[in-house]
Amino acid sequence: MNTKIVTINPKRISSEKILYVASLLKKGEVVALPTETVYGLGANALNPKAVKKIFKAKGRPTDNPLIVHIYNMKQLKLIAKDISDDAKKLMRKFWPGPLTLILPKTKKVPDIITAGRETVGVRMPHHRIALALIRNADLPIAAPSANSFGKPSPTISKHVIEDLSGKIAAIIDGGSVKIGIESTIIDMTSKTPVLLRPGGITLEEIQKIIGKISVHESVNHPQKKMKDALAPGMKYKHYSPKAKVILLEKTSLKKALEMYPSAIAISLNKTIKEKKNVKYIKNLNHLAKEIFFYFREADEKNIPIIIVDKIPEKGIGMSILNRVKKAATKII
């Protein structure tokens, strides 16, 4: 398949180009699009044949359900029902934005989206191109991250081209994403909401709005095998570069570099000396934006080992830690 690369400036969106990509979605094709979190691989959520193409292009197991992306509340009513007051509060505060809510689904949502579940993950992305595209297609859009299965999520169109060129109808190049890791996922269908995946919205921000929320065990221990894979994605190894990833919890960076002289390292520590193999990142938001990019870049350069220096568990640090732990072969 010949994959069209469509360059769109998010600050001056070309309606002609958006209409073209929207027409592909209406025809049941799969297209990659930028969102504020990571690039997504979108198709008409109401068309099972179109959705099947997403799984095929990514090489993704079909027991892992997809998030549906919407642009307004009318579309929400089409796909989700019995929405709790807490869910409404979260939507009001964080939509459009990097928050996915698991809600009871309507009959309209095909089984292939939800892997046969009675719930559906929904989010309204905070990205001008994504919103314009969904509005123009006038369809709810199913979209996982636009990487091949097992690879880090893409934060620039070049990553998507590397993974999916030749496998999908079009890729929108809309520049780099703002956040760099995926949305926060909360299951709103149990009595106490459950954080299933930490992401762009922090646990602290959620707690401020709805108070009590429980944290699924896999959030802080993503490497433990889950008996009951609540978010089915949890059971798969994810976000892995080819390089070995070593996360530092107790060991100093200096010591770790002595142990692994061929490694490169990334660190939030102001006092470290930047060197060819050691990169300093000034804060957690920058680290979120850089981490998947850094993993991909290391693979391009055939780096065998990546050391990630200590990350505080607060704020978006919790989300970054979750991703790094998923990729890590060792925590020392």
Contact set with ligand TXA (CB under 6 A): 35, 37-38, 40, 64-67, 98, 100, 102, 114, 117, 119-121, 123, 125, 143-145, 182-183, 185, 196, 231-233
Under a CB-based contact definition with an 8 Å cutoff, are residues 81 and 188 in contact? no
Q: Among 37, 44, 75, 145, which residue interacts with Mg ion (rule: CB under 5 A)?
A: 145
Binding at 117: pick from Mg ion, ligand TXA, none (beta carbon under 5-8 Å per type) = ligand TXA
User: What DSSP letter does each residue of 61-73 carry, written as one string?
Assistant: -TTS--EEE-SSH
Least spacing, CB of residue 4 vs ligand TXA, in Å:
20
Under a CB-based contact definition with an 8 Å cutoff, are residues 174 and 33 in contact? yes
Binding at 194: pick from ligand TXA, Mg ion, none (beta carbon under 5-8 Å per type) = none
Q: Tokens 């505060």 belong to which residue? A: 93
Choice between 136 and 183, CB closer to Mg ion = 183
SS3 content of the chain, % helix, strand, coil (to 5): 35, 20, 45
Least spacing, CB of residue 272 vs Mg ion, in Å:
31
Going from the C-alpha of 174 to that of each of 34, 130, 177, 243, the distances in angstroms are 6, 10, 8, 28
Least spacing, CB of residue 66 vs ligand TXA, in Å:
5
Q: Is residue 3 within the footprint of Mg ion (CB under 5 A)?
A: no
DSSP state at residue 275: B
Choice between 209 and 226, CB closer to ligand TXA = 226
Length of the chain: 332
Nearest alpha carbon to residue 264 among 277, 245, 248, 251? 277
Nearest alpha carbon to residue 305 among 251, 260, 273? 260
Least spacing, CB of residue 68 vs Mg ion, in Å:
15
Least spacing, CB of residue 253 vs ligand TXA, in Å:
30
Least spacing, CB of residue 272 vs ligand TXA, in Å:
30
Beta-carbon count within 10 A of 83 CB: 17
The whole-angstrom separation of Cα 256 and Cα 328 is 15
Choice between 196 and 265, CB closer to ligand TXA = 196
Binding at 133: pick from ligand TXA, Mg ion, none (beta carbon under 5-8 Å per type) = none
Choice between 17 and 151, CB closer to Mg ion = 151
Least spacing, CB of residue 183 vs Mg ion, in Å:
10
Q: Which stretch binds Mg ion (CB under 5 A): 43-51, 94-102, 123-131, 140-148?
A: 140-148
Binding at 75: pick from Mg ion, ligand TXA, none (beta carbon under 5-8 Å per type) = none
Strand 184-187, strand 119-123: pairing: unpaired
The whole-angstrom separation of Cα 241 and Cα 233 is 17
Choice between 133 and 278, CB closer to ligand TXA = 133
